[in-house]
């Protein structure tokens, strides 16, 4: 097959719509179930490239959760702690496979943004991963293959309309890529940059101690950024992205947005959130939304309005700013990647509030000295990669 007709493009008024291969070549995908949309396929192809690179860089199964052509989460298949199993809502699922662990992490980093995601998996989708996906609100999945029972589980999702795509993992795209904007064709060489330990060799701070786990987390951050709409910043820890700030016009807003998401990821692990007295029967999406409100500064208004009665068996104690700050002060050894240089030290100041210890960025700002000085102030380890990773 060298063409797939789509229902419409980005919006219902954008017709006709299709994806196709030029010069009669075959598409590298097979639609096993459902019918993908235009944005679904953009997410699928970007996500597939991301997880393929993550697996190559780490040797571990990888997964990503995409929304509107940027990842909400990305991770490799490291085992989950008991606390992580609880905050990702998989503590009732028994033993998970490495691939299922990867998706639980990718989905769980920012569960609100992952709602209705498109999933990419580096490996053949197994039954454990399919059972996890079955529980979540999602548009579809792309993987190099599916175990028969896993495919049956996924094909039954969304009343049989769930999109399941198989990709040819041996497919290699052309070295030059094109796209049309306003009737004008743009052409560029593909971004074939290999992200590995060598990229982090130029450490410019006084502290130069970068352990192996930090290099893995920085690789995850930078590979994630390679497929995130720019400007973008990514916080990573323990084999997964924990906060992604995508598509912002200023670097500091990327850092703040991603930092807030990283903070929320860590706040969910606090006893006060873990022990919230939810009523029986409250769905995962409603729990995620309620937890988000509970951790916000608006919760006092919710208490005053009595909305808590819809979700909790009793009125929870307020999670005060002082208590949240005290918990966040326990977050350590976070890695931070940036797709372009930090122009001011304010980005480092904000990163320090989210436990950042290791940073990778291109360097090249006229204020590099100020940025390095701010890192030294917090005893951070920062390397200059010399490589920008803009993606549009």
Quick one: pLDDT band at residue 53, thresholds 50, 70, 90?
very high
Tokens encoding 108 = 């769980």
Quick one: pLDDT band at residue 308, thresholds 50, 70, 90?
confident
CATH architecture, domain 3-167? 3-Layer(aba) Sandwich (3.40)
- Reply yes or no on whether the pLDDT at 234 is more than 80: yes
Active-site residue 68, yes or no? Answer: yes
Asked whether the whole model's pTM tops 0.75, one would answer yes
- Reply yes or no on whether the pLDDT at 327 is more than 70: yes
- Reply yes or no on whether the pLDDT at 193 is more than 90: yes
Quick one: pLDDT band at residue 182, thresholds 50, 70, 90?
very high
What's the average model confidence in pLDDT over 215-225?
Answer: 96
Q: Tens digit of pLDDT for each residue in 239-248?
A: 999 999 999 9
3-167 with 190-267+328-384: one CATH topology?
yes
Q: Tens digit of pLDDT for each residue in 140-156?
A: 999 999 999 999 999 99
- Reply yes or no on whether the pLDDT at 304 is more than 70: no
Which is the catalytic residue, given 67, 166, 215, 237?
Answer: 67
Which is the catalytic residue, given 56, 68, 272, 353?
Answer: 68
Active-site residue 391, yes or no? Answer: no
- Reply yes or no on whether the pLDDT at 159 is more than 80: yes
Quick one: pLDDT band at residue 25, thresholds 50, 70, 90?
confident
Q: Give the chain's mean pLDDT.
A: 94
What's the average model confidence in pLDDT over 166-193?
Answer: 94
Which is the catalytic residue, given 40, 46, 101, 231?
Answer: 231
- Reply yes or no on whether the pLDDT at 360 is more than 90: yes
Quick one: pLDDT band at residue 300, thresholds 50, 70, 90?
confident
- Reply yes or no on whether the pLDDT at 306 is more than 80: no
Q: Tens digit of pLDDT for each residue in 86-140?
A: 999 999 999 999 999 999 999 999 999 999 999 999 999 999 999 999 999 999 9
Give residue limits of the domains in the chain: 3-167, 190-267+328-384, 271-318
What's the average model confidence in pLDDT over 219-239?
Answer: 96
What's the average model confidence in pLDDT over 26-37?
Answer: 95
Q: What is the pLDDT of residue 23?
A: 80
Asked if the 190-267+328-384 domain carries CATH number 1.10.1520.10, the reply is: no
């Amino acid at each position: 097959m060298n063409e797939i007709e789509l229902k419409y493009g980005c919006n219902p008024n954008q017709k006709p719509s299709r994806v196709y291969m030029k010069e009669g070549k075959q598409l590298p995908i097979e639609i096993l179930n459902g019918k993908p949309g235009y944005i679904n396929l953009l997410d699928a192809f970007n996500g597939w490239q991301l997880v393929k690179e993550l697996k190559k860089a780490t040797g571990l199964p990888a997964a990503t959760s995409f929304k509107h052509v940027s990842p909400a989460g990305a991770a490799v298949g490291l085992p989950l702690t008991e606390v992580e199993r609880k905050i990702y809502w998989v503590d009732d699922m028994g033993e998970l496979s490495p691939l299922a662990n990867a998706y639980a992490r990718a989905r769980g980093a920012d569960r609100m943004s992952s709602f209705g995601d498109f999933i990419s998996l580096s490996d053949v989708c197994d039954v454990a991963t399919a059972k996890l996906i079955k529980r979540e609100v999602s548009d579809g999945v792309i993987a190099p293959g599916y175990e028969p029972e896993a495919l049956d589980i996924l094909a039954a999702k969304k009343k049989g309309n769930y999109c399941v795509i198989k990709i040819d993992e041996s497919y290699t795209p052309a070295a030059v890529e094109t796209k049309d904007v306003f009737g004008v064709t743009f052409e560029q060489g593909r971004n074939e940059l290999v992200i590995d330990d060598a990229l982090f060799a130029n450490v410019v701070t006084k502290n130069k101690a970068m352990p192996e786990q930090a290099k893995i987390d920085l690789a995850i951050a930078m590979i994630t950024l390679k497929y995130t709409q720019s400007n973008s910043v990514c916080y990573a820890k323990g084999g997964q992205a924990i906060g992604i700030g995508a598509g912002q016009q200023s670097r500091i807003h990327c850092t703040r947005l991603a930092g807030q998401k990283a903070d929320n990821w860590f706040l969910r692990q606090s006893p006060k959130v873990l022990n919230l007295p939810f009523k029986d029967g409250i769905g995962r999406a409603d729990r995620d939304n309620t937890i988000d409100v509970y951790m916000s500064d608006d919760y006092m208004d919710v208490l005053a309005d009595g909305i808590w009665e819809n979700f909790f068996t009793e009125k929870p104690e307020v999670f005060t700013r002082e208590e949240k700050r005290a918990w966040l002060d326990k977050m350590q050894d976070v890695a931070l990647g940036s797709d372009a240089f930090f122009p001011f030290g304010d980005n480092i100041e904000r990163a320090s509030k989210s436990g950042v210890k290791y940073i990778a960025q291109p360097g090249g700002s006229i204020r590099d000295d100020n940025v390095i000085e701010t890192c030294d102030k917090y005893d951070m380890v920062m390397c200059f990669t010399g490589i920008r990773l803009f993606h549009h």
